[in-house]
Amino acid sequence: MIRDVLRSRWFAATVHVAAWLLLLFILLHAGGRHPLYREARYDPTAVSSLVPVARLEGLLAAPNVAGTNSTSAPAARSVFDTTYFIPQTAPPPPPPTTRKVELTYLGFFRTGEQTPRALIRFGDALASVPVGAPVVTNWHIAAVTTTSLTLTNSGAQTNLCALNAKLVLEIPLQ
């Protein structure tokens, strides 16, 4: 039944006429009226009492707050401190047993009949170390070539460092 009402010509005509009447009312009263505004007048007697801010400090003192006394929460410094969040302290890390040393092989040179000397950069420092001499603690220069530097230690470990490449050595602390 409702389907027949919605499809009827009388219903369509009624909705059409209602829409035109609504548009006509909107256009006739488009300007509307302005609300009545007036200047506010200052009245010093309107504020009768001020907020008693000076007495708030006494209200929030520790003896006046319920649940706090000298034995409970000795670490609390104010009313807003809490013991609910207890920080978890991690054990201190163990002291390091090794340290890292960065070195860069820059090449080698030889003067006369002396042994070749390798140019090695330690961070910002530049060193000239002969073949067979210690570079750092237990690492010694085994051989130098134009493209690489061979380091060896007392444990028969070897490291090969290419020309202009950084090499990171871990050396034990003594």
Tokens of 72: 């409970």
| Model confidence pLDDT, tens digit, residues 29-44 | 777 777 777 777 777 6
Q: Which residue ranges make up each domain of the chain?
A: 98-172
pLDDT of 119 reads 93
Which pLDDT belongs to residue 73? 47
Class assignment of domain 98-172?
mainly beta
pLDDT band for position 61 (50/70/90)?
low
Question: How far is it, in rounded angstroms, from Cα 138 to Cα 66?
Answer: 68
pLDDT tens figures, 68-81: 554 554 555 677 77
Give percent of the chain with pLDDT exceeding 70: 80
pTM over 0.75: no
* Chain segment 126-135, per-residue pLDDT in tens: 999 999 998 8
